[in-house]
Amino acid sequence: MFCEIASGRQPARIVYQDDLVTAFWDIHPQARVHILVIPNQHLTSLREAEETDPVLLGRCLQVAARVAREAGIAESGYRVLTNVGPDAGQSVYHLHFHLLGGNRLRMALG
Ligand SMILES: [Zn+2]
């Protein structure tokens, strides 16, 4: 499903896209700002990090910071996280980083 968003085959509220990475609003926001940053290339999760180009992983975090700044939450603060596998509650098996902010965040995501 995230492959479809990255390729434009499925609509999403995209806030940033380049040749490596796409960022778009989560359809079930858990904070006032809840944006997902994904590699355009399909990776199941961070479990594949060691076989992945580090530039791609770094770009994901750079884009998270950029999108946070553009969303106006760079100063108030935000959280970037990724869930891996069932115990973490990974919902979509395409690597994605949650960018959360805009209000006080609790320690755990529901
Ligand atoms: Zn995918």
- Return left, alpha or beta for 77; rule: phi > 0 is left, psi -120 to 50 is alpha, else beta: left
CB 67 within 8 A of CB 33: no
* Alpha carbon of 35 to ligand 1 centroid (Å): 17
Catalytic annotation present for 34: no
Tell me which of 28, 34, 42, 96 is the catalytic residue. 96
Q: What is the CATH number of domain 2-101?
A: 3.30.428.10
CB 35 within 8 A of CB 15: yes
Quote the pLDDT of residue 106. Answer: 83
Query: In this predicted structure, what is the pLDDT of residue 22?
Result: 98
Beta-bridge partner residues of 37? 23, 97
pLDDT band at 58 (very low <50, low <70, confident <90, very high): very high
Q: What is the pTM of this model?
A: 0.94
- Beta strand 14-17 with 21-25: parallel, antiparallel or unpaired? antiparallel
- Each residue of 33-47: pLDDT tens digit? 999 999 999 999 999
